[in-house]
A and B are shown apart, each in its own frame.
Chain A
Amino acid sequence: MMLRLAPALIVTLLVAPILAGLVMALLPAFGYLPALGGESLSLAPWRALAAQPGIGRSVAISFASGLIATALSLAVVLLYLAAASGSRLDRWIRRLVSPLLSIPHAAAAFGLAFLIAPTGLLARLASPALTGWERPPDLLIVQDPWGLSLIAGLVIKEVPFLLLMSLAALPQLDAERRVAMARSLGYRPAIAWLKVVAPALYPLIRLPVFAVIAYASSVVDVAMILGPTLPPTLAVSILTWFSDPDLDQRFLASAGAILQLGVTAAALFTWWGLERLMARLMKAWIARGERRRGEAGLRLAGRLPILLATGVAFAGLGGLAIYSVAGFWRFPDALPRSMTPDHWAQALPALGGPLASTALIALGSTLLAALLVLAALENEQRTGRTASKALWLLYLPLIVPQIAFLFGLVVVMEQLGTRPTHGLIVFGHLLFVLPYVFLSLSEAYRRIDPRWTRLALTLGASRNAVFWRVRLPMLLAPLLTACAVGLAVSIGQYLPTQLLGAGRVTTVTTEAVSLAAGGNRRVIGVWALVQACLPLAGFAIAIGLPKLLWSNRRGMQGAP
């Protein structure tokens, strides 16, 4: 039966391309790629890599920005959960976390760039009153050589991700009762949370944290927008070599891809060391029995950073919107003198094709992912076996750096003579869409009361009827949310589209990122705003449709 095959099919679809891609990056990295005349193994690509100017700095920036962005994001999330649980801010943030997560990385990065650039909104608001600047200062704020703006851009996007993962894990921990218990022993609330909930929560969000490290240390699109340029981060350098018309550069790119794998692995390994150190410090801190000291500071540290992160993300979107309609706009003016629809009018004719491609690829990969995930989860229900052992495999595409295996995959496709098509890109996106759809749907699917199934069966419904007439309608809301997540993930993908489409398939995302080099903020504003709004539309449908359908069914309103 088809259902039985679903788990195996999922694992194959996720693991096989990654393995094939890694092998086909590893061989050329040692000079072996017969198609390009590399007949024997050699270390020449590595020597070329070592001779690249600034390679050491590239590696250092990739490594450090990955670790620092992750540490900051995790700290922001944990402090917030410790200090703000149950407050009004908490309700607010929880409502904002899904839309925040749905903003594509590139759009958020552009938003940040428009805020903090020397001619950006912040400088304009503060000038000339506070800064005295009559002309834009000659500062390298965006794309600074230390990667600080890159780190900031990553933190803005990874905070909502880690927050959502934590919120999903927390119900298992009975956090309220743990905190109540500690408070009854005299601990202040935030300190109580950090001492009795955080140590239990961390193991549950460890895989997502690893995914953040891997992503942040190897990201391409955000680094192209916010990262340093001379030299760029390792991942961006690799993409440049790979796209070089001189095909011999591919050996260099392959060696770079393997180096990237090593850099990410080193970052993960370092994190593992930091984990052990933190565990020791925490243990000592908990054992000291300190109940009050630092509470006031914690309350502030829990609120300010997260407010800043969400505020910047939304202000960035506002900035995109303003730039997209800005007419004449002299430097220290906070707002443009005139508004104009021209940039939109000019961009509209060019938007159609990429929009259609984006929608086609996103819908295709999400639909496929939803079918596979439903089949796997339904199989789990019918056989009563959970495939928990295989769960870490779901994280494989999220933990192996994209850039390390996507090249190899392109080489495999070229060898097979597959032409870049939308179908190929759908398949590439599936690698990243599938894990997220699975992670967001599985909780709801497994939590459904088994008595509904038993009842329906004893009323004479067949196994298939139970799925179509009971489980699917009851799970409509979480299913649509999972699909919205899948759409958002697909819409935001830059590298798989760019590489598997060989630059010939443009989506809103590839177009927006390619505009970064041009630096026309008004055009970027239009494209980045469109890019940011697409996933929001998905979430609006996912939340609105069940409300509409079940408007007359009170029992369906509280569903997640």
Chain B
Amino acid sequence: MTTPHRLELRDVSIRLGDTPLVELDAEIAPGEVLTVMGPSGAGKSTLLAFLAGFLAPEFVASGRILLDGRDLTALPAERRGLGLLFQDPLLFPHLSVAGNLRFGLPRAADDRAARVEQALAHIGLAGFGERDPATLSGGQQARVALMRLLLSAPCAVLLDEPFSKLDTHLRQAMRRLVFEHLREAGLPSLLVTHDREDAEAAGGRVIELSPGGR
């Protein structure tokens, strides 16, 4: 989490058959959050799927994804070093809270137990390690999911409407927590959302996608 990273999207263009869906050319500096906005159907999720390496075969994409100048476009998802935060916390139901955090920790990391305990304390959940994730509140689950992402030491982060399913009062707090941590870790991040408040809280540049592509 120490060395600053830079994410570049060079002439990215995604088409479905002959219909162009998304076109994007952008650079995201360390600690910066770039927001991509657009109504549903504008190709936001498709863009994220392309960046993370899960694009469905019916889409055709061109352009390059560069991380610190290194080309990721041809790499499989698990070797891109891009972390994902979903709408749902998606804590693995068969693992404990600590087990979920450990799942994110790289294998080579030393002192794993201590780092997990420290991470839990950091989000105000000290002593929750052995709990069943299903017994946590929505806000607690969201915090564990964020911490799991950070522990996996990604080089950049993709956020897929991560606040849309939270209650209004939780949403404010989570936005602050997430953006604070991302900035602190110096991670370049790409947020897709249809909520203008998300974009404002992110505080970075905003790119609007038009419905049905352009």
Residues of A within 8 A of B (CB): 384, 450-452, 454-463, 469-470, 473-474, 476, 550, 552-556
Question: 1/0 contact trace for B91-102 toward A, CB 8 Å?
Answer: 111100000000
Q: Are B90 and A384 in touch, CB under 8 angstroms?
A: no
Question: B106: nearest residue on chain A (CB-CB)?
Answer: A460
Question: 1/0 contact trace for B70-103 toward A, CB 8 Å?
Answer: 0000001110111110101011111000000001
Q: For the complex of A and B, list the 4 residue pairs with the smallest distance between their C-beta atoms, beginning with the closest.
A: A555-B93, A554-B134, A555-B134, A457-B77
Could you name 11 residue pairs across A and B whose Cβ atoms are closer than 8 Å?
Answer: A450-B54, A451-B88, A455-B84, A458-B78, A460-B106, A461-B78, A553-B132, A554-B132, A555-B94, A555-B132, A555-B133
Q: Are B103 and A474 in touch, CB under 8 angstroms?
A: no
Q: Are A384 and B132 in touch, CB under 8 angstroms?
A: no
Q: Are A459 and B83 in touch, CB under 8 angstroms?
A: yes
Q: Are A553 and B103 in touch, CB under 8 angstroms?
A: no
Check: B189 CB closer than 8 A to any chain A CB: no
Q: Are B52 and A470 in touch, CB under 8 angstroms?
A: no
Interface members, chain B 137-158 (any A CB < 8 Å):
148-149, 152, 154
Q: In whole angstroms, what is the CA distance A552 to B149 when docked?
A: 24
Among A450, A452, A455, A470, the one with the most B-chain Cβ atoms within 10 Å of its Cβ is A455
Q: Are B56 and A461 in touch, CB under 8 angstroms?
A: no
A452-B90 in contact given A459-B152, A554-B134 (Cβ < 8 Å): yes
A-B contact count (CB 8 A): 70
B80 CB contacts on chain A under 8 angstroms: 458
Minimum C-beta distance from B190 to chain A (A): 13
Check: B57 CB closer than 8 A to any chain A CB: yes
Partner of A459, one of B54, B88, B148: B148
Minimum C-beta distance from B119 to chain A (A): 14
Minimum C-beta distance from B69 to chain A (A): 21
Q: In whole angstroms, what is the CA distance A456 to B52 when docked?
A: 12
Q: In whole angstroms, what is the CA distance A384 to B54 when docked?
A: 11
Q: Are A474 and B93 in touch, CB under 8 angstroms?
A: yes
A452-B154 in contact given A384-B56, A458-B52 (Cβ < 8 Å): no
Minimum C-beta distance from B115 to chain A (A): 15
Minimum C-beta distance from A68 to chain B (A): 47
Check: B2 CB closer than 8 A to any chain A CB: no
Q: Are A463 and B78 in touch, CB under 8 angstroms?
A: yes
Q: In whole angstroms, what is the CA distance A461 to B77 when docked?
A: 10
Minimum C-beta distance from B84 to chain A (A): 4
A452 CB contacts on chain B under 8 angstroms: 90, 92
Partner of B84, one of A454, A476, A554: A454
A455 CB contacts on chain B under 8 angstroms: 84, 86, 90
Check: B104 CB closer than 8 A to any chain A CB: yes
Given contact pairs A450-B54, A460-B152, A552-B132, enumerate 14 new A-B contacts (beta carbons under 8 Å). A452-B92, A457-B76, A457-B78, A458-B77, A458-B78, A458-B83, A459-B104, A459-B148, A460-B81, A462-B78, A554-B134, A554-B135, A556-B93, A556-B94
- Tell me the dominant secondary structure on chain A's binding face: helix
Q: In whole angstroms, what is the CA distance A456 to B77 when docked?
A: 10
Q: Are B94 and A550 in touch, CB under 8 angstroms?
A: yes
- Give the size of the chain B interface in residues (CB under 8 angstroms): 31
B152 CB contacts on chain A under 8 angstroms: 458-460
Q: Are A458 and B135 in touch, CB under 8 angstroms?
A: no
A555 CB contacts on chain B under 8 angstroms: 91, 93-94, 132-134
Minimum C-beta distance from B189 to chain A (A): 13
B154 CB contacts on chain A under 8 angstroms: 458
B149 CB contacts on chain A under 8 angstroms: 459
Partner of B103, one of A450, A451, A456, A556: A456
Q: In whole angstroms, what is the CA distance A473 to B99 when docked?
A: 13
Q: Are A460 and B134 in touch, CB under 8 angstroms?
A: no
Q: In whole angstroms, what is the CA distance A98 to B199 when docked?
A: 52
Q: In whole angstroms, what is the CA distance A462 to B76 when docked?
A: 10
Q: In whole angstroms, what is the CA distance A473 to B103 when docked?
A: 14
Q: In whole angstroms, what is the CA distance A331 to B104 when docked?
A: 72
Q: Are A553 and B94 in touch, CB under 8 angstroms?
A: yes
Q: Are B93 and A454 in touch, CB under 8 angstroms?
A: no
Q: In whole angstroms, what is the CA distance A457 to B52 when docked?
A: 9
Q: In whole angstroms, what is the CA distance A454 to B82 when docked?
A: 11
B132 CB contacts on chain A under 8 angstroms: 552-555
Partner of B94, one of A450, A458, A474: A474
Question: B78: nearest residue on chain A (CB-CB)?
Answer: A457
Q: In whole angstroms, what is the CA distance A460 to B53 when docked?
A: 13
A469-B93 in contact given A457-B77, A552-B132 (Cβ < 8 Å): no
Partner of B90, one of A451, A460, A553: A451
Q: In whole angstroms, what is the CA distance A384 to B59 when docked?
A: 13
Among B81, B84, B91, the one with the most A-chain Cβ atoms within 10 Å of its Cβ is B84
Q: Are A458 and B84 in touch, CB under 8 angstroms?
A: yes
Question: B92: nearest residue on chain A (CB-CB)?
Answer: A470
A461-B103 in contact given A384-B56, A552-B132, A553-B132 (Cβ < 8 Å): yes
A463 CB contacts on chain B under 8 angstroms: 76, 78
A473-B94 in contact given A456-B103, A458-B84, A552-B132 (Cβ < 8 Å): yes
Question: B135: nearest residue on chain A (CB-CB)?
Answer: A554
Minimum C-beta distance from A457 to chain B (A): 4
Q: In whole angstroms, what is the CA distance A552 to B135 when docked?
A: 10
Q: In whole angstroms, what is the CA distance A552 to B54 when docked?
A: 33
A554 CB contacts on chain B under 8 angstroms: 93, 132, 134-135
Minimum C-beta distance from A548 to chain B (A): 13
B52 CB contacts on chain A under 8 angstroms: 454, 458
Q: In whole angstroms, what is the CA distance A473 to B95 when docked?
A: 9
A460-B94 in contact given A455-B84, A552-B132, A553-B132 (Cβ < 8 Å): no
Question: B54: nearest residue on chain A (CB-CB)?
Answer: A454
B91 CB contacts on chain A under 8 angstroms: 555
Partner of A458, one of B82, B93, B133, B134: B82
Question: B82: nearest residue on chain A (CB-CB)?
Answer: A458
Minimum C-beta distance from A3 to chain B (A): 15
A460 CB contacts on chain B under 8 angstroms: 78, 81, 104, 106, 152
Q: Are A384 and B78 in touch, CB under 8 angstroms?
A: no
